[in-house]
Structure 1
Amino acid sequence: MILLFLDFDGVTHPRTGSQAFLPTCMTALRNAISNYDIHIVVSSTWRETNRMHELVDYLLPLQKPAVGITPVINDRFLSAVRHHEIIKYLIDTEQQSRRWYTIDDCPGFFPSPSESVYFTNPRTSFNEDDMPNFKKLLKSVWYAQQRFISTNQTPERARS
């Protein structure tokens, strides 16, 4: 299973204009993640003004479970704050070894370079043009996880 940390503004709809999720963005996202065992964690600022059940409803078109939200770290002097929120979520949920990926539109929220982050264009959000590159990166994360599992799975562990 892979955790996908998902931003909304600039990903599910362009950063400017309507706040409504664009069906074309949601369809492109659904198509990009459909073949993977993915659970979604909301990393968007929407987590600060919406309840979990509302966030889950927004994400229903993706046909993947929304399992949580990242904690909010309010530290204006901290760089790469969203990255730190993701790491805190992983620690708090005891999933530090879990493979994860994020889709966001703000490079300043993450350390550079960051191979676990896919950046969208905030003016166009996630769309069909993003799919080949995102799927390629997602596939590499998935294969890395499978290699890790197979090399660390002894027969005794497999039975327990």
Structure 2
Amino acid sequence: MSSTKVVYLDFDGVLHPSSPVMDGLFSRSHLLEPLFENSNAEIVISSSWRFTHSLRELQAKLPSHLAQRVIGMTGNAVIGKHARYQEILYHAKQLVSGANWRALDDSYWEFPTSCKELIRCNPNTGIGPKEVGLLRTWLTM
């Protein structure tokens, strides 16, 4: 089993509320920075933003410490049940056999209900203390 930890990161509903009118885009990204300071975990962007922005453009939107952890994006869109989950599984198998991963995402319907790897964010607020705590615990295991 690999010791590599990978966080699959969605943007809308995670790094900012799904409707970021009040808070602005990426308003919650600062909450992730301390979690990655003492971790070797890597980030893969699973957000649909990957269809309209290059990897470099997406990295530029993140705080520099997080941007340095980004190693790529998931690939082509999958059509069907639990699409995001399927995209992540395919990427994780290509990346490292046995990669230990978590997904920060608000689109819970894109994952099976039994998916222990999903850290579900509230789309109205984005990532908050509960999700930060879950991610911190996993990163330090």
- CA shift in 2, pair 1:62/1:120, >3 Å: farther
Structure 2 unaligned spans of 5+:
none
Distance, in Å, in 1 between the alignment partners of 2:85 and 2:78 is 13
**TM-score with structure 2 setting the length:** 0.85
The aligned amino acid for 2:30 is T
2-side partners of 1:110 and 1:74: how far apart? 12
Which structure carries more helix by proportion?
1
3-state SS in 1 of match to 2:98? coil
Higher relative contact order (CA 8 A, sep 6+): 2
Distance of aligned partners of 1:118 and 1:129 in 2 relative to their CA distance in 1, 3 Å threshold: closer
Q: Structure 1 length normalisation: TM-score? A: 0.76
Runs of at least 5 residues in structure 1 that lack an aligned partner in the other structure: 144-160
Q: In structure 1, what is the Cα distance between the partners aligned to 2:51 and 2:117?
A: 24
Contact 2:6 2:44 in 1 (8 A): yes
Aligned to 1:65: 69
In 2, the alpha carbon distance for the partners of 1:43 and 1:99 equals: 16
For 1:21, the equivalent position in structure 2 comes to 26
Deviation at 1:58, TM superposition (A): 1.6
Change (3 A) 1:114 1:50: same
- Quick check: 2:13–2:105 contact (8 Å CA) kept in 1? yes
Percent identical:
26
- The alignment yields a C-alpha RMSD, in angstroms, of 1.8
Helix, strand or coil at the partner of 1:15: coil
- The one-letter amino acid paired with 1:70 is T
Question: How far has the Cα of 1:51 moved from its partner?
Answer: 0.6
Rg larger for: 1
Question: How much has 1:134 moved relative to structure 2?
Answer: 2.9
> Which residue pairs with 2:137 in the alignment?
136
How far did 1:39 drift?
A: 1.0
Residue deviations 1:94-119 (CA, integer Å, cap 9, x gap): x1311111100011011112111101
